[in-house]
Amino acid sequence: MVDMENEEHAKKRLGRYYIPIWEGCDPTVSQSIKDFRERWKPYSASSRRYPIGRLIQEVIDPAVAAYMATLPVRYSGYVPGAGTGVGFSAIIGLVGLDAMVRVQRQLLRQFIKTEDRQTPRDHRFTATLEALIELVCCCASKRPQTSAPAQGVSLNAQRKHGFCDFCGELTEFSAFMAKVAEQQVNDAELENRKKLELSHKYCEGHRPKLTNGEWNPAYRQAKRSLAQFELELARLSQQCAKPATPQVKSGDQLVDGYFFHYVMRQTLQPADKAELRNQARLMVDSKLSDRKKQILMLQWSGLNQSEIARRLGIERQAVSKALASIPAMFHLKKKRPIR
């Protein structure tokens, strides 16, 4: 039954135990991830009885090895341990889950930048690595079913872990639990923190109330712009998923083109969730409206301010003012004139 189940149904059935599988992922690896997520409920990185590394070794390692055996040797340089006889789980055991995510992301970026021929095999390889990154990310954030985070810590380890609702920073609770896990919390800090209400929805910068009891202006601003933040995040994520062609379906060709060229020079990957969320937050906080994206796209295409104004039916001064208000990081490199 599970084998024939589509991903939408699996997501609803598994809930927080769902692990995404990228479209185009190698079938052998895809099936291993499906098997893994059916069994991983009691497993975690901090559990002695159910160590998650053991499950990765048992279920994922054989699939990764079998898939890599079907590829030319040059692909092995983009998967840690491949071609050396060291299993996927063994590398995780050496460097840790979080470091494995960072290493694999970097190798995937190198593959995409280095390999000029994006053949169907390349696309499958990219989708397979993205699926493995998703799996390791989920394992890194997985909590044991019943646990105390550390001796003397009376916080509920089963509360939501993850990003702030408004940006790519960890929530106050997640950030503190990460420090506890790394044993970077001293007794005084622990005692003070236990007396505070640690948010599992917002980071320290976006918590609703400041320590003096007053409303946090950053929270109010982010709350008002939540819909726009989610829209920009969805657009960035869509474009990163298939960066070779415009993916954003905004209804405006200039806006779609802006995201295509912006993401192309960022080397962002869908697994870069924190960075994508932070960039979406910056877009909103910088008031990078769709009108400003249109202006930037027309500027990139070689039009001057007067020509942009005529194209958009606005005053030249409005174009000049808009360009001056846009942070440099959002400007596109100018298109070279055709000679």
Q: Classify 172 as helix, strand or coil.
A: helix
In the prediction, which pLDDT does 185 show?
46
Determine contact, residues 238/268, Cβ cutoff 8 Å: no
Determine contact, residues 298/308, Cβ cutoff 8 Å: yes
Determine contact, residues 108/77, Cβ cutoff 8 Å: no
In the prediction, which pLDDT does 144 show?
62
With a cut of 80, say whether residue 184 has pLDDT above it.
no
CA distance 298 to 307: 9
Confidence of residue 334 (pLDDT cuts 50, 70, 90): low
Residue-wise burial string across 165-203, b where 16 or more C-beta atoms lie within 10 A, e elsewhere: bbbbbbbbbbbbbeebeeeebeeeebeebeeeebbbbbb
Chain centroid to Cα 42, Å, comes to 25
- What percent of the chain stands above pLDDT 90? 50
Determine contact, residues 144/47, Cβ cutoff 8 Å: yes
Mean model confidence pLDDT for the chain: 84
pTM over 0.75, yes/no: no
With a cut of 80, say whether residue 178 has pLDDT above it.
no
What is the per-residue pLDDT across 312-332, written as a single tens digit (0 to 9) for each? 999 999 999 999 999 999 999
Rounded (10°) CA dihedral 102, 104, 105, 106: 90
* DSSP per-residue codes, 56-122: IIIIIHHHHHHHHTTS-GGGGGGSTTTTTT--HHHHHHHH-HHHHHHHHHHHHHHHHHH-----HHH
CA distance 323 to 296: 8
C-alpha dist (Å) from residue 42 to 31, 52, 104, 126, 142: 20, 9, 26, 30, 10
Q: What amino acid occupies position 2?
A: V
What is the per-residue pLDDT across 27-42, written as a single tens digit (0 to 9) for each? 999 999 999 999 999 9
Burial of 32 (0-12, 13-18, 19+ CB in 10 A): buried
In the prediction, which pLDDT does 151 show?
44
In the prediction, which pLDDT does 213 show?
85
